[in-house]
A = this chain, B = another copy of it.
Amino acid sequence: MTDDMVRERAEAYLQLLRERGCRLTEQRRIIIETLLENAEASVSVRDLAAKVHEKDASVGFATVYRTLLILEEMDILHQTNLGEGFSRFVLSEKGVHVHVRCRVCGAVTRLEQEDAKEKILEEWVAEKGFSLVPQSVQLAGICEECRRAGRREEDPSPGPAFCDRAGPMRPFCRRRRFRGEFA
């Protein structure tokens, strides 16, 4: 997305905020633009705040959180949770997103033809009388590379389970700590 596109779309979102009765502040503008600049990926609050800080170091963490929650409330963002220990936000662009995450290396890929997939998911939940809402669906798998390399989910670690003396930390305590970059 070009800088101009970012500015344009940011302006559109800011208008939505205004229509909702919110005030247009410099902070919100920066946060929304930063979000748009990272639109391909889902961002953690931590990462987003860091990027926002590069532009204006005075913006507080709480403001980032508050802004994201408003945007989620307005369905401009989706909040997702991959079990990393924190949540991520994605621009919703009205619709359903489907991602796969590799359980071994943590890589995340977004699937194609989301419209078709959305239709199928719609049918599934309809079986139980539900209607589907815009959201970001997360699937877990193992990516080609890891499968080829024979890497399994963080070593089955056949030994017993304890948490202290022997070594710095159990592998499965670490599992939820993935902090990598996102595709």
Chain A residues within CB distance 8 Å of chain B:
20-23, 66, 69-70, 72-73, 79-83, 87, 98, 100, 102-103, 109, 111-112, 117, 120-121, 124-125, 127-133, 135, 137-144, 147, 153, 156-161, 163, 170-173, 175
Contact = CB atoms under 8 A, between A and B. Distances in A.
Majority secondary structure of chain A interface residues (helix, strand, loop or mixed)? mixed
A176 to B, nearest CB: 8
A163 B127 contact: no
B21 A159 contact: yes
A69 B102 CA distance: 19
B125 A100 contact: yes
A2 B82 CA distance: 34
B112 A130 contact: no
Contact of A69 (B20, B124, B127, B172): B172
Contacts of A171: 73
Copies in the complex: 2
Nearest to A74: B156
Given A73-B172, A124-B98, A143-B130, A163 B20 contact: no
Nearest to A67: B161
Nearest to A137: B139
Contact of A135 (B70, B133, B139, B163): B139
B70 A172 contact: yes
Nearest to A170: B69
A69 B176 CA distance: 10
Nearest to A117: B124
Contacts of A138: 137-138
